[in-house]
Amino acid sequence: MLLSGCLNSARYTLDTDFDSSPVKSSTKLTDALRCLGAQLKASPQNPGAYAFMVRDIVDGTVDRNKNADGPLADAGRIQMISILSAHTRPSYGVVTDEFPLMLRPTVNEQLGLNRFGLPSTSNLKTYVSMLTQISNADRQSIGMGAVNSVVPLIIDGAFTRYDSSHIRSRGYGQNAGYRGDDGDEESISIDRGSSGSERSVTLVVNIIDPKTNVVVGTEGFDLKFYSNSKTARFRVAVDEYYYGFSNTDVQVETIHAAQQILLEAGAIWILDNAYGNMVDFSACFNTEATLALGQDARYERVKAEQLGQQTGVTLAQTATHEVVATAAPTPEVVRNVVDVLEQSVEFAAAQPMWHVRVGAFAKPENVAAFSEELSKRGYAARTTSVRVSSGEATRIWLGPYANKKTAQEICTKLADLTGQSGYVVLQR
């Protein structure tokens, strides 16, 4: 018997000479997130420290028992972790990768939750102590003061709605043509059209206190994403010859892009709720796209604009009464004037007003010198104290002003006169 064999070898290669190169993901909200991160780093006072533990961002648009892979079943949790960690640092925002085992429901209270859905107090205290050490080590490296403890927060969310069918569709077309008589063999046609459609997706985000399992903050975000298409066609024929031209321009915002925008919107809301009372984020909420993403107090900015309009009307009414009172100063007219003035003052005092934060100074002599300079220029300044890493500093303020436009004009004028960049802030 003759035994024979052969050895086959194959070589596989991968051509990596692609035309395109990977780029970092970016949306219309990315700059706002970067701004929040920059404000955190540049804050003159020491912001507190949090531990963000993202439990899950699930696809709530499918039946989890039948189909776990829906159109929104991407790694939303990983994306949220990436966004939060990219714009914070451990000194004020410790972002964990794995969700702690002790916060997952188990039958053993020593490892997980008890019958009330609460973690073991001793385990949670030990875990938070570890995270506090991580935060303080980073704070020490950049000259920030230590914190007694980080505040643990659970981040939970779900995509709760996805309109797979179009919620709005629109389009139009134009056609023109010519066809010769029966004896002629010539024709011409022109077609032009445009169409568009929109769908909607919703993300709900919760902030939960793991010590009590209480929801301390919740918000929902809706986003419409779209597809647009434009077409143009031209054709002409003479005898047996013809020439044609067509052009199609299609622009589609994918559902994955919509998810990324919603997750960034949720991250902006989380960071503003966590640090908004300690860090001035006003500069980051300067567009209509970002205005509605912060704390509910951000809506006061809209009320302030309305305040300026309503106060203007009230003062105009007051001026009318004053003219009448001058011509005929009857007791009834005088009472009307007093009532209108009192209502105007009470209304303005009850509403948030705009203030200009001129700057912060550590040395008292600099505070006095700068306040004197502002006084020479006709501005009445006030001061507040703030705790910083190097001790205590003094902030100088101007205001209040009834509307944002006036405050911004003052802020710009001061920057031109003094070289100091200020901030416009809404306060009560």
- DSSP-derived secondary structure for 224-283: EEEEEEEEEEEEEEETTEEEEEEEEEEEE--HHHHHHHHHHHHHHHHHHHHHTTTS--GG
pLDDT at 421: 63
Residue (of 349, 326, 332) closest to 428 by Cα position: 349
pLDDT at 265: 92
**Which residues are bridge partners to 192 per DSSP?**
174, 232
pLDDT at 136: 92
pLDDT at 326: 34
**pLDDT tens, position by position, 342-378:** 444 444 444 557 788 887 777 888 888 888 888 777 7
Those residues of the chain that have pLDDT short of 50 are: 1-6, 297, 299, 302, 305-306, 308-331, 333-335, 337-338, 340-350
CA separation (Å) from 273 to 67, 277, 290, 301, 341? 34, 8, 14, 16, 37
Q: State how far Cα 195 lies from the chain centre.
A: 30
413: Cα within 13 Å, side-chain hemisphere: 12
Residue 6 DSSP label: -
pLDDT at 78: 93
What domains appear along the chain, each with residue ranges and CATH number? 30-162 (no CATH), 299-427 (3.30.70.1070)
3-state secondary structure (DSSP) of residue 288: helix
Residue (of 398, 397, 386, 381) closest to 362 by Cα position: 386
